[in-house]
């Protein structure tokens, strides 16, 4: 009886997962020959370069600015921690299109900060700077909240023992906390990466040009139809999915080691 229930549970889980992953079967749908002519290929490859290069720059900024913030939140008292995490959740929960509009109003020529930046020659609409800044805003909350969870998982006793051995707080962080939290931080970064590289709603408002992969997919769909979308879609999935998947698998293997 117990074995029978086990098989029923596994079958139910398998049906659940297959239903969840079924949309990927559409990669083999019969929609005619995929289009990869010069008119499609040039903008598509350009969008791949834009997404990979500018999202990498955005993630470097996210890590550089977000890691210290996560470290600070991780050592805060409960009430203060709730305050900071609540503020970060607002940035995460903002609808993407609303974020794009608000970002443009705040940093474009309509606001004081935007006019000041424009005076300094920093263009915050339809520019590489706007693209990177939007992705930083999109990914920062995901990274910091995930990084806080990763830092919380480090046993406090190990950090206290390192401090008792004479290490300064900075050395404790880099020699003890950071190495032990690295897989959790990698998962947080991968979540920020996939969220940023796949962002459409905010980026289409703030940085339609230069076009990243999500915007270019939309342009190709509107201009040429599904056969022109499929090659770039495959590249997009190959870029977006492996990093978070691998980071999650490694983190799970480490936690069960």
pLDDT one-digit tens code per residue, 14-42: 999 999 999 999 999 888 899 999 999 99
d(CA 206, CA 129): 10
Contact 143, 58 (CB under 8 A): no
Contact 70, 144 (CB under 8 A): yes
The domain spans of the chain are: 42-255
Q: What percent of the chain has pLDDT over 70?
A: 96
pLDDT one-digit tens code per residue, 104-156: 999 988 778 888 888 898 999 999 999 999 999 999 999 999 999 999 999 98
Query: What pLDDT score does 256 carry?
Result: 61
pLDDT one-digit tens code per residue, 154-196: 998 988 888 888 888 889 998 999 889 988 999 999 999 999 9
CA 206, distance to chain mean position in Å, is: 17
Contact 193, 52 (CB under 8 A): no
Helices (H), 202-241: 203-206, 213-224, 226-240
Omega before residue 223 within 30° of 0, cis: no
Q: How many CB atoms lie within 10 A of CB 230?
A: 20
Domain 42-255 has CATH 3.30.300.210: no
Question: Residue 92 pLDDT > 70, yes or no?
Answer: yes
Helices (H), 108-207: 112-119, 128-152, 156-164, 169-172, 178-197, 203-206
């Amino acid at each position: 009886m117990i074995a029978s229930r086990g098989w029923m549970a596994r079958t139910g889980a398998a049906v659940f997962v297959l239903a969840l992953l079924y949309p990927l079967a559409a990669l083999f749908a019969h929609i005619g020959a995929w289009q990869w002519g010069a008119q499609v290929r040039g903008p598509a490859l350009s969008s791949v370069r834009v997404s990979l290069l500018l999202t990498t720059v955005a993630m470097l900024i996210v890590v550089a600015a977000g890691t210290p913030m996560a470290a600070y939140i991780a050592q805060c008292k409960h009430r203060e921690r709730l305050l900071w995490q609540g503020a970060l959740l607002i940035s995460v929960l903002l609808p993407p299109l609303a974020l794009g509009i608000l970002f443009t109003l705040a940093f474009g020529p309509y606001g004081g900060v935007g006019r000041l930046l424009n005076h300094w020659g920093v263009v915050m609409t339809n520019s590489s700077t706007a693209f990177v800044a939007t992705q930083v805003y999109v990914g920062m909350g995901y990274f910091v909240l995930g990084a806080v969870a990763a830092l919380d998982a480090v046993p406090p006793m190990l950090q206290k023992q390192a401090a008792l051995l004479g290490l300064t707080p900075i050395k404790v962080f880099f020699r003890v906390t950071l190495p032990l939290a690295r897989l959790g931080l990698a998962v947080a970064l991968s979540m920020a990466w996939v969220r940023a590289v796949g962002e459409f709603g905010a980026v289409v408002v703030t940085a339609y040009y230069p076009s990243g992969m999500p915007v270019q997919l939309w342009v190709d769909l509107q201009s040429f139809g599904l056969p022109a979308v499929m090659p770039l879609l495959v590249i997009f999935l190959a870029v977006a999915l492996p990093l978070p998947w691998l980071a999650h698998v490694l983190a799970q293997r480490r936690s069960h080691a």
